[in-house]
A and B are shown apart, each in its own frame.
Chain A
Amino acid sequence: MVEMVSRPYATAFEKYAVAHPEVLCLSADLTSSCEVDGFRDRHPDQFLSLGMAEQNMMSFAGGLGLAGYRPFIHTFGVFMYRRPYDQLMASVAYPRRKVRLMGFLPGVTTPGGMTHQSIEDISVMRSIPNMTILETGDATEVESICEAADSIDGPVWCRVLRGSVPRLFDTPIKVGEMRELSDGTDVLVVTSGICTEEAMRARAAFAKAGLSIRHLHLHTIKPFDSSALLDHIASVKHGVVTLENHVVDGGIGSLVAETMAEAGIGKRLVRLGLKDTYAHGGSRPYLMRFYGLDALALVGGIEEIMGQEFGITEAHLDAARVDDVHSLVKAEAL
């Protein structure tokens, strides 16, 4: 049974910020939802409430960067780029301020529906000059995201998991690298964020079906080490499947496709994720099943690459974790 860690960000941010006085904690009326309410109460001098006014917050953070601080902005990811996109560009990315953009509730990890789900943020951030993109997939990565982000000379976009988070890895994020979780030779599976746990659920079933799966987990999406990816692609016989909590256009599916095209790789690629659609509100397992972001969707993708069915059903997959929408480790559903 996988170890579950309660509110890893809350603990990790406080520890990091206390040791680094140039770090400031900014919040936009979602302080407890982003697990920094305890920090606010214990370290009010290092905390800035900027209210429900994200455009001002983004440029204000740029000004703080100019004054030599490293602001960590806490809000839901979706509120940090859609409305204040111009401010993100003009006040943060263009002048290369050391602003750490802590985006909570990535993709379908919120039941809040379209207004709350950041489903195209990676696509947007990948095209912004000077931007670094990190995504957490487990508690260890959440615990190390502050130090990883703060090591970058420029703005950093982070997809952060909150609440009860599984521990899948035992080493911290090393910016620019990727995790090789299995070293098979038939199909390469590339995942990020919560989709990595989904791919791991299918591992035993694939092995039983005689499939040799090479599995990579990406915590660093930009900058990206394409030579490492190409080595992995060269190590498999049949092709590549990507699985992400994001639209496939512009996300890691596109990243892998671009890498393969530029290197002239003639292998099959199946990109799994949200396909040119907004998502409804709903529980995370429901949404991941409905939109094809879960372990079963990955089975389908691998079957497409291999051109055969393996008879793997939900019963053959390791149990999915089912989180309560309302639980003690989350302030509220949203």
Chain B
Amino acid sequence: YALVAYATLIEVGRLAPEGLEMFNKDGSSVEMIGAEHSPGMEVHNGTLGIGLSTGSGLAWGRKRRGESGNTWVFMSDGEVQEGQTWEAVQACAHHGIDNLKAIMDVNRQQCDGAMDSVMKVGDIAEKFRIFGAHCVEIDGHDISAMRDAAQEKHDGKPLIILANTSPYHTMNILQERFPRLHYVRFKSEDERARMNVSIAADLGIDPIDYVH
């Protein structure tokens, strides 16, 4: 869901904190998944698999215009199950699109559970390289590694950063739910209270007072 995107917009000053009060409320543009009328969404990346292609076209067009910037695409590892992702890499390689950078959250999770149980995808990095991308792997929780990866040279090819992440990073109690971590909801008030205390402890903060 787009909640993390909205939270990020607030952190960088592009959305007022009050915006979150409108999250998932009828009549609000701060929608659960969001679309191009939602805050911060110049172009949407769902249905999954279309984003790298859109980014490729945008990057090619901007380069042709002589613009200097990069086009960034946020992706998930589940998207490598879609054929279109590979069509996009193939097109980038053919047209030498190298002002395109993608960062993929590789948490090995999808709706039905662990990716390996749903549809094995093999060595994602090697597949990207064979299709013609420059691909690097990092610890997705290491911001300086992410900065370094963004500086990689990738002449004539797109850069794809595989950010290996743990869905329960700094939230160890979520391991109780492994391997079903795509949708996590509290199953009871008791669990909510336990998770509140545990996650706050992991983060080194006080538990949240969520009773309204």
A residues bordering B, Cβ < 8 Å?
48-51, 53, 55-69, 86-87, 90-91, 94-95
Contact = CB atoms under 8 A, between A and B. Distances in A.
Contacts of A58: 53
Given A51-B91, A90-B50, A91-B53, A59 B61 contact: no
Contacts of B112: none
Interface string B26-62: 0000000001100000111011011101111111111
B54 A63 contact: yes
15 contacts: A51-B90, A53-B87, A56-B53, A56-B84, A60-B56, A63-B53, A63-B57, A63-B58, A64-B60, A64-B61, A67-B57, A67-B58, A87-B53, A91-B54, A95-B44
Nearest to A52: B87
B44 to A, nearest CB: 7
Contact of B87 (A49, A56, A61, A86): A56
A51 B87 CA distance: 9
A256 B66 CA distance: 49
B83 interface: yes
Interface of B: 35-36, 42-44, 46-47, 49-51, 53-62, 64-65, 83-84, 87-88, 90-91, 94-95
Contact of B94 (A51, A63, A69): A51
A86 B56 contact: no
Interface of A: prevailing SS: helix
Nearest to B88: A56
A60 B53 CA distance: 5
B106 to A, nearest CB: 22
A90 B91 contact: no
Contacts of A91: 50, 53-54
A66 B42 CA distance: 9
Given A55-B83, A67-B58, A87 B50 contact: yes
B65 A59 contact: no
Contact of A61 (B35, B36, B51, B57): B57
A69 B113 CA distance: 41
B43 A66 contact: yes
B61 A67 contact: yes
Contact of A56 (B46, B62, B91): B91
Given A48-B95, A69-B61, A63 B56 contact: yes
The 8 closest A-B pairs by CB, nearest first: A63-B57, A67-B61, A59-B53, A56-B87, A60-B57, A63-B58, A53-B87, A63-B54
Contacts of A95: 36, 43-44
B35 A62 contact: no
Contact of A50 (B36, B50, B59, B91): B91
Given A56-B91, A60-B88, A68 B61 contact: yes
A62 B84 contact: no
Contacts of A51: 87, 90-91, 94
B57 A66 contact: yes
B157 to A, nearest CB: 16
Given A51-B94, A87-B84, A90-B44, A62 B54 contact: yes
